[in-house]
Every structure is written in structure tokens, then in C-alpha cells.
Amino acid sequence: MSLLSQNQALPLGLDDTTLQRLTTGLSDQQLIWLSGYFYGRTSAGRSEVQQAVQGATQAQPAAPAAAAKLTILYGSQTGNSKKVAQQTAEKAKQRGVQVTVQDVNDYATRALKTEQQLLLVVSTQGEGEPPVAAEELHQFLLSNRAPQLPDLRYSVLALGDKSYVQFCQTGREFDERLAELGAQRLLERVECDVDYQEAAQTWADRVLEVIAAEANTGHAGGSGSQATAAETLTAPAPAQYSHHNPFEATVLEKIQLNGRGSSKETYHIELSLADSGLHYEPGDALSVVPRNGEALVAEVLQTARLDGTAPIQLSGVEFELGTALTQKLELSVLTRDVLERYAATAPQHKQLAEIVTDIPQLQRYVYGRDVADLLREFPAELSAEQLAAVLRPLPARAYSIASSLLVHPDEVHLTVGAVRYAAHGRTKHGVCSSHLADRLDIDHTARVFVERNEYFKLPQDAATDIIMVGAGTGVAPFRAFVEERVELGAEGRNWLFFGNPNFTTDFLYQTEWLQHLKRGTLRHLDVAFSRDQAEKIYVQHRLLEKSRDVYGWLENGAHFYVCGDKARLGSAIQEALKQVVQREAGCSAEDAADYLRALKKQRRYLEDVY
């Protein structure tokens, strides 16, 4: 919109002809800068504005260039990258930087060659895969279509999880490829583990200091301008409860869902959120801060030949070693960084050094092993402080929420599968699932906080149909989905595909699903119990059996949700859905793959896989 309304009289000497003469030859950026400059000067009085115009007239050949715009892109699976991007954009706006923040999913790849300053916040999914939102830009950059970018200044913040060997792989690939294309780093890449908040804020402050310093020295083309944004930049308020300040939620109910003789051990756990102020929506997760079991802590101390009462310091706070191993340090999972630090502390073990540098060998070694295994297989004389320095902080574990807050005020429900297995001569336990299953009873408390998942939400239009595919505990969020839609009176139809080993022992929430089916609040229920017949049947087989109706629902605008094991369920469902489209649309495999990609880009195919 024009700065001056057509109904306003132009000041003397500022008719259209004069304005055209004054601005001829200026770039879009220079025009934007002048517009913001004059607008800001209006508060100082008309005379100062007129003086500014006269000064601009005299200095027209050397008009000041606008500060280089800053673009912040985020590629997120759950919403963490978006939160960081918005917080960084708010900080940039407060520094007077002209900023645009955008979801990579909506970013036109052709715009990349026009960028001058770019911050990219991106997560990594599983073993080195980009989030769905970032797939297109990732493929484009790594292809031979990507342009040279000599004028681009950039920095990458990579979010990941060190329990995966390919930690922050997507962020590394973006960072390295941008450098290969000639772009210059504003700041070296920063990689964040699951507890990312502090490192992310430090990165944001440092990179914005660099941008501000370069703007002031003229490196970025001039001084800072008033901020603008492509989307609302209200930074999310810090959560009242977090990993470092969890809420103590009382256990209200704990029910084992599997029947006698089941090969699985699944618990329905109800927790009180009374007086917490915590809020969640269907699709969100509840993170639980666990404690390591006493037996594993004792085994680590014995293997390391250390006294549990030995004093150590963690982040400047003193603990007894045994307390730190119980409450603060990861013992049940080995990660690459732990092995690297241990190898440096125990250089006599050449084999361990080789394992760390060989990715396939590293993946084989860490699978099923814990810290006690490492200490036993590669013994070393360590002090209590050295052992603590080697280990990783104990992260929280996130569980898909299985309840609607509308239906269960002041409560949150979880569906937890107890993880137990034998490996390398010892019985192992999942640190959080065994904490919930074995050590928490009714009236005990669990340390929890809510994790938002912006990209696994119900459709905004309540009349939209949904198809839900879950296996095992992957059914949890769909219990919340259906509860919520029933409570709101949503018109959209609900269709559930559920799979587990046996009908008689493993039909989780069977009574509830059958009641929904009887009432019509669940239009279809298709189940696959893989061990009830000689030939194993899984949910992907049920999808193919109902291909005509599945495709019809999708063509009618349905949203498609998948929750469960990424390796065994996620890829199988995608392949099955491509076969459904190929069969029902009569198209090629390539066109079916394009159909699935379009569903993902439209955020109508959504996954919560782990």
C-alpha cells in the first residue's frame, strides 16, 4: 500500500513528478529503506522529515543501501525448530534487523540464489534423514541443479539426538553443501542434543551479534532497518515446566493392558496435572524424566571399581557419584560421543578407537549395549570425575499422549510398553519404561513436562475425515484424537487401523474402540493380529485390502496419520499407500510417489514415528 493515501494532499514540492525523479534508479531494497526511514522520522516533526528529503535530494547518487535482509528457515518434525526460529526472529527484530521467518516446506527453492543472509534451523529424523518439511530443499541443494551462492552469508543450527549414530546429519549436510556452493558462514554450525534450548539461544545471540556488527561496519550493505516479518514473530513463552524443572505428577491409575500369556507388557498410566497449569492438545507428547535402576547403577560402580559416595561436580553442582549415576547420567544407551570420550580417556584400547571411526562397526557395537558393557569390555582406570565427564546427561523420554484434556481435565494418560531384552550376556531394561512399569505405583510421582508436536495435529476443519494407522503403543495418540473429536462433536469420520501380535491378549483399549464403533464415532475399525495365523498379517496388508475406500477417503480430503516404530511400520505404510494409489488411480509408481509427496507437503500425511 502507498505510504501516502490518494486522498491526502502532498506536501509542497513532493508531487508525483518530484517523487519519481527522486527515486528513479533506486533498488527495491533502497526504496524499502527510505520508506522505513521517513516513517520513523515523522515523530520528530515535519521539518526534520523535509530536511531528510532535501538531504536525500542532494545525496541521491550515493543513496544508502538497505541492510541485507535476514531470512530464517526452519525444517521441523515436531515443532522444536520452529520455536527456535521464531525466538531467533524476535531477537533479530529487537535488534532492528529486517527479518523473514518461513517454514522450509513453503519455501521456493528458486529464491535461494537471491538470499543474502540466511539462518537455517533444521532437525534430523532417525538415522540421518531430513524432516518431511525439508526434503524438497535438501534434495534440491544436493542435486546438480543447485546454483552457486557466492553472495550468501549463512549459519546452521542443527537439532538432533545423540542416541542416533548419524547425529545432526541433516544439519551437517545443509551446512557443508552451502559452503561447497560458495556461501560464507556467519558462524560455525552448532549441533544440539535433545536438551537443545540453552545451546540454541547461545547460537542465536552470537550469530545476531555478527550480523549487527557487519551491518554497522558496512559489510552487509548499510545500517539496520526496522524489522518486518513473513509471519507472526511472537516468541513462544518459556514453558513453566521443563527437563530441568519438571512437574511432579501423581500416579492416579496404572493398568496392564495385555492379557495373561502375552509376549508384550503394556501399561495404561493416568497422571494428575492438578494445579500445574500444564496444557496439551491431542498429538502432543509428555516427556518423563526417568531414573536409572539401582541394579544397573550398582553394576556400573562395581565394573568401574568406584565408590558411589565419591564426590563429583556436574555443571558446578556437587553430587555423590551414585546419585549422579541414578538421576543425572545416561547408563542404558551408548552413543557415539560417549564412545569418543571414553576412547580418548582409555587410549590403550586401539580397537575402540577403530570402532568409533567406522560407522557400520559403530552401529553394530552400540546396539543393545550399555555403559556396564563398555566398562567390562574395555576396562580402564577412571576416577569418579573422569567417568562422569565421559557420560551423557540423562535425557527425558517422550510418550505420545493418549487422552484428551477436554475429556479428562487435570489429567494426562500414557500408553507405555515396558522394554526388556537380553543382550551380550545380560538382561537389559528401557530406562524410562522400566521406571514407569516397575518403580512407580499409585500415589507415587513422575517428573514430567509437555512437549508440543505442531505437526501431528487434528485437521482444523472438524468436518475433515481422518485415517489413523497405529501398531502397538502407536495407538496412543489416536485414543486422544477420537476422544477429542467426539467431545467437540466433529462431523468428520474416523477410521482406525490397529495391529499387534494377538487378538486375545494384545487388543489395546478393545472395549473403548468397540464402543466407538457401535456409536458411530468410529466409522471403521480394521485390525491385524500378526501371530493369530500361520501367515503374518500386518496393518499394511489391511490397507491394501481396503485400497478402494482408502483412496476414496484421500480423494475426499482425508488426513492420514501413522504412529509407531519407524523402521518396521513407517516405511511399510508408505509403500503400501503408494501401492493403493497406483492401483486405484491406475498410475505409475512414480506418479504414486508424487501423490504421497504432495500429501506430505500439504500436511495431510503425518507421522509420529520413533
- Tell me the CATH number at 551: 3.40.50.80
Same domain (yes/no): 48, 80: no
> Would you say 175 and 142 are in contact if contact means Cβ atoms under 8 Å apart?
no
- Same domain, yes or no, for 252 and 322? no
Amino acid letter, residue 75: G
pLDDT in tens, 413-454: 999 999 999 999 999 999 999 999 999 999 999 999 999 998
- Asked if 433 and 508 sit in the same domain, the reply is no
Residues 306 and 282 both lie in one domain:
no
Q: Which of 219-233, 356-370, 400-414, 526-540 has the lowest mean pLDDT?
A: 219-233
Please indicate, yes or no, whether residues 531 and 568 belong to a single structural domain of this protein: yes
CATH of the domain at 319: 1.20.990.10
Q: What single-letter DSSP state applies at residue 367?
A: T
Strand partners, 192: 159
Residues 244-272, mean pLDDT to the nearest whole number: 97
On the question of pLDDT at 181 being above 80, the answer is yes
Q: Among residues of the chain, what percentage have pLDDT more than 90? A: 76
Residues 513 and 604 in one domain: yes
For residues 332 and 444, give the distance between their C-alpha atoms in angstroms, rounded to a whole number: 23
Q: Could you identify the residue written with the cell 541443479?
A: 145
* CA separation for the pair 54, 327 (Å, rounded): 68
Does the pLDDT of residue 317 top 80, yes or no? yes
State the distance between the two ends of the chain, measured CA to CA, in whole angstroms: 48
Q: What is the model's pLDDT at position 163?
A: 82
Mean pLDDT of 110-139: 90
Give domain status of residue 366, yes or no: yes
Cα-Cα-Cα-Cα dihedral sign, residues 522, 280, 102, 242: negative
Select the more confidently predicted residue: 409 or 40: 409
Q: Which domain holds residue 419?
A: 247-290+396-451
Q: What is the pLDDT of residue 76?
A: 85
Mean pLDDT to the nearest integer, 135-151: 93
Q: Are 260 and 403 found together in one domain?
A: yes
Say which range, 38-42, 117-121, 294-298, 465-469, has the weakest mean pLDDT.
Answer: 38-42
Rounded to whole angstroms, how far apart are CA atoms 199 and 87? 13
190 shares a domain with 114: yes
CA 416 to CA 473: how far, in whole Å?
7
Question: Is the pLDDT reported for residue 271 higher than 80?
Answer: yes
- pLDDT tens digit sequence for 583-601: 999 999 999 999 999 999 9
Same structural domain, 159 and 98: yes
- Which of the listed residues 338, 359, 388 is the one where a domain comes to its end? 388
The answer to whether position 46 is within a domain reads yes
Is residue 503 domain-shared with residue 551, that is, in the same domain?
yes
- The confidence band for 13, taking pLDDT boundaries of 50, 70 and 90, is very low
Other Cβ atoms within 10 Å of 472 Cβ, number: 21
| Each residue's pLDDT tens digit, 103-117 | 999 999 999 999 999
Report the CATH number at residue 413.
2.40.30.10
Of residues 573, 485, 562, the one with CA closest to residue 77: 562
Q: Which of 407, 577, 569 has the alpha carbon at shortest distance from 499?
A: 569
DSSP string, 576-610: HHHHHHHHHHT--HHHHHHHHHHHHHTT-EEEEE-
Question: What pTM value is reported for the model?
Answer: 0.81
Q: Is 415 helix (H, G, I), strand (E, B) or coil?
A: strand
Confidence tier at 539 by pLDDT (50, 70, 90): very high
pLDDT at position 137 is 94
Q: Are 33 and 52 contained in the same domain?
A: yes
The answer to whether residue 412 is domain-embedded is yes
pLDDT of residue 540: 97
Are residue 286 and residue 312 in the same domain, yes or no? no
- When the pLDDT of each residue in the chain is averaged and rounded to a whole number, the result is 87
Highest mean pLDDT among 43-47, 61-65, 163-167, 422-426: 422-426
DSSP structural state of residue 235 = P
pLDDT value of position 218: 58
Q: Residues 6 or more apart from 35 whose CB is under 8 A from it?
A: 3
Q: Between 184 and 58, where is the model more confident? A: 184
443 closest CA partner among 256, 275, 249: 249
Whether 238 is covered by a domain: the verdict is no
Q: Which three cell numbers stand for residue 359?
A: 560407522
Q: Is residue 441 part of a domain?
A: yes
Which of 71-80, 293-302, 527-536 has the lowest average pLDDT? 71-80
Total domains, the chain: 5
* pLDDT for the residue numbered 239: 53
Rounded to whole angstroms, how far apart are CA atoms 560 and 306? 52
Determine the Cα angle at 557 with ends 551 and 561, to 5°: 75
| Residue 234 predicted with pLDDT over 50 | no
- Residue range 167-192: mean pLDDT, rounded: 96
Helical pair 16-23 and 46-58, crossing angle rounded to 10 deg: 50
